[in-house]
């Protein structure tokens, strides 16, 4: 059976640059059915552009095609408008400018998020339009303006971007966690969206860890998902110290160590974390399961291989970790097995992050289930809260 090759798409930044080129031509009295953008590689790409009424003005829209990447912005309209500024117009400190295109300024509008925290590629208070897209937008607009007879530098122009659906889409992205409010970001480094969402997700996780470090934090909680966040709240641990690391537990832990965090707590459901006890760096099922094998190995280690062999073999027939826990509970061995599992998790994390060596971060672990609550912890709840306390 032939495997279909995944189709690449275009970044929001590329679409914005093409829309800005058409809007710049329109500002000079020219109609443009196409907008051209130059990728960082130097390649020129063209997109169909439509003039659309928005907020009482004419804007130019490019509809984004993200290819086969599961991008939440696939299909959205990226809008641009270019306005000539009066000679005495005040330049807002929140607008972007560039030495490469003097006289051009850039800002966001409806649906473009505003940065509220340090550590991102955009300054606090400005719209989340990343550096590479900014350069592409400025270059595309300047090229179109000059072709239409304008003289950027001798006269000034403001480029505005909007994504009407951006505010609604932002809730489905990492932006609220990153401190980007009111919309999505204009992103892109190559100008092309390659269908490799796993790498993009890992980049976002690394960015959030970096931002926590930039805020001066030295204590960090890693948790695989939203369930873990709810558990942290119930436990009384600081939710604002947490980063959702998805399946990338090893990568996130190593990143946190490299960012200089002194204390790292891994908190999560046993269904994910038991894999860490077996040294599995990525807990996604595509990299294998092994949950029951690892549980059985922990059982043999703490209860004696011969006495518990039948129970260990029986775990292989369990479909979920909750089912396996029930069997261990009935045998009176749940606490012992979970203590061994947590010990192994902590040992693996210390090895991954270099905590075994002097100068590495302190590592602790707490794991839970939806049925039994806390299953195992390298510290009790009060000690963990004290350990994570700021100061």
Task: Please state, in angstroms and rounded to a whole number, the distance separating the CA atoms of residues 189 and 64.
Answer: 16
- CATH numbers and ranges of domains, the chain: 9-193 (3.30.2110.10), 197-388 (no CATH)
391 — pLDDT class (breaks 50, 70, 90)? very low
pTM over 0.85: no
Q: Can you state the percent helix, strand and coil of the chain, rounding each to 5?
A: 40, 25, 40
- In the predicted model, is pLDDT for residue 196 greater than 60? no
Over range 135-143, report the average pLDDT.
97
Nearest to 19 by CA among 59, 54, 53, 58: 59
- In the predicted model, is pLDDT for residue 3 greater than 50? no
Question: What is residue 343's predicted lDDT score, i.e. its pLDDT?
Answer: 95
Question: What is residue 319's predicted lDDT score, i.e. its pLDDT?
Answer: 76
Encode pLDDT of 254-274 as tens digits: 999 999 999 999 999 999 999
Task: Please state, in angstroms and rounded to a whole number, the distance separating the CA atoms of residues 245 and 225.
Answer: 7
CB contact set of 206 (below 8 Å; sequence gap of 6+): 251, 252, 255
Encode pLDDT of 91-100 as tens digits: 999 999 999 9
Residue predicted with more confidence, 23 or 70:
23
Encode pLDDT of 268-299 as tens digits: 999 999 999 999 998 877 677 789 999 999 99
Question: What is residue 164's predicted lDDT score, i.e. its pLDDT?
Answer: 97
């Amino acid at each position: 059976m032939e495997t279909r090759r995944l189709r690449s798409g275009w970044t929001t930044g590329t679409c914005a640059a093409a829309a800005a080129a058409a809007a710049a031509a329109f500002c000079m009295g020219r109609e443009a059915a196409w907008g051209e953008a130059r990728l960082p590689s130097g390649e020129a790409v063209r997109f169909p552009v439509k003039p659309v009424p928005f907020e009482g003005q004419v804007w130019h829209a490019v509809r984004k095609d993200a290819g086969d990447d599961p991008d939440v912005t696939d299909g959205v309209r990226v809008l641009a408008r270019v306005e000539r500024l009066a000679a005495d117009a005040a330049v807002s400190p929140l607008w972007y400018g560039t030495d490469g295109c003097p006289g051009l300024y850039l800002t966001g509008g409806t649906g473009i998020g505003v940065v509220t925290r340090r550590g991102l590629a955009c300054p606090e208070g400005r719209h989340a339009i990343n550096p590479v897209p900014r350069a592409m937008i400025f270059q595309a607009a300047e090229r179109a303006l000059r072709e239409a007879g304008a003289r950027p530098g001798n006269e000034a122009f403001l480029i505005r971007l909007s994504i009407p659906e951006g505010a609604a889409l932002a809730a489905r992205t990492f932006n609220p966690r990153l401190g980007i409010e009111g919309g999505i970001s204009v992103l892109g480094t190559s100008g092309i969206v390659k269908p490799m969402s796993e790498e993009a997700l890992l980049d976002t996780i690394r960015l959030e860890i970096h931002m926590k470090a930039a805020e001066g934090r030295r204590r960090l909680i890693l948790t695989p998902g939203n369930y873990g966040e709810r558990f942290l709240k119930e436990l009384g641990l600081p939710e604002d110290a947490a980063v959702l690391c998805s399946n990338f537990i090893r990568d996130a832990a190593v990143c946190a160590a490299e960012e200089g965090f002194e204390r790292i707590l891994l908190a999560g459901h046993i269904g994910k974390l038991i894999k860490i006890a077996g040294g599995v760096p990525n807990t996604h099922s595509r990299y294998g399961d092994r949950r029951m094998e690892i549980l059985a190995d922990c059982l043999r280690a703490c209860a004696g291989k011969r006495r518990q062999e039948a129970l260990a073999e029986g775990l292989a027939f369990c479909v979920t970790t909750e089912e396996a826990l029930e069997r261990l509970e009935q045998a009176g061995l749940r606490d012992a097995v979970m203590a061994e599992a947590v010990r192994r998790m902590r040992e693996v994390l210390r090895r991954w992050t270099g905590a075994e060596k002097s100068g590495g971060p302190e590592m602790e672990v707490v794991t839970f289930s939806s049925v039994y609550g806390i299953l195992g912890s390298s510290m009790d709840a009060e000690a963990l809260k004290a350990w994570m306390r700021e100061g």
